[in-house]
Amino acid sequence: MDAATKPAEKTGRSGKRAIPAYLVREVIDGIPFYYRGYRQAMNKTKTLEELMSDSGLQFFLKLYLYDLLKARLNLKKYRVGAGELGFHPNYKNNMGLDVVVFDRKVLTPDKITAKFVEVPPRLVIEVDVNVELPERDSDLFQEYVVRKIRRLFASGTEKVIWIFTKSQQVFSATADAPWQVYDWDQDVELMEGVRVNLANYIREEGFQLP
């Protein structure tokens, strides 16, 4: 996106401050989605680093899922990663992905460069929704979650797992079957028989939830 190289602030004809490009977290179908809390960054009550950082729960859920997949899957067949992988399937889309599994035959060494990855992961796991739109009444589930899942499918991803820590639910979507919603005290299959029960993990770790 090269957002940081763009002007930090402009004022439109309406008199409203334009949103700086560096506050764009993702672009899906040409629509910019901004970091959650971007207004506080514009008002200088929060830093960009604060907006970009995970909560402790988000961080350790991602780490746990990464460790689980890496331990259970055939690493001669798959590449497993976690972080904020940049995925660029085409010029209208720049997405950040939390936990991913790639087929090694698809993500070959020559496709791993200093740029965003352009080939689709087989599995994507997302934790929470960390974006917002300028319209405060926007339906982020439809506008962002569903849109992102469908764009991932259109790009070649086979399955998306989305974890919502506030409602303690897990959304499981596959390209060729009805999408499913689970409470996170239920077992959920990630792929190839690898199953997870988030409530058990959180209980074992002793995390304190609201």
Pairing, β 194-196 against β 188-191: antiparallel
Q: Which residue has the tokens 């070649």?
A: 156
Distances (CA, A) of 41 to 18, 19, 20, 131, 143: 13, 10, 10, 13, 23
- Is 87 strand, coil or helix? strand
d(CA 30, CA 208): 39
Q: What is the pLDDT of residue 7?
A: 35
Q: What is the pLDDT of residue 163?
A: 97
| Amino acid in position 123 | L
Q: Does the structure show a pLDDT above 60 at 114? A: yes
Question: What does the block give as tokens for 118?
Answer: 């352009």
d(CA 57, CA 83): 14
Q: What is the pLDDT of residue 16?
A: 65
Q: Does the structure show a pLDDT above 60 at 11? A: no
d(CA 74, CA 80): 10
pTM exceeds 0.85 = yes
Confidence of residue 168 (pLDDT cuts 50, 70, 90): very high
Q: What is the pLDDT of residue 118?
A: 98
Q: Does the structure show a pLDDT above 50 at 14? A: no
Residue count of the chain: 210
Q: How far apart are the first and last CA of the chain?
A: 36
| pLDDT 10s digits, 15-51 | 467 888 989 999 999 999 999 889 888 988 889 888 8
- CATH number belonging to the domain at 54-205, selected among 3.90.79.10, 3.90.1570.10, 3.90.950.20, 3.30.930.10: 3.90.1570.10
Q: Does the structure show a pLDDT above 80 at 1? A: no
Q: Which residue has the higher pLDDT, 32 or 208?
A: 32
Average pLDDT, the chain: 90
Give start-end residues of each CATH 3.90.1570.10 domain in the chain: 54-205
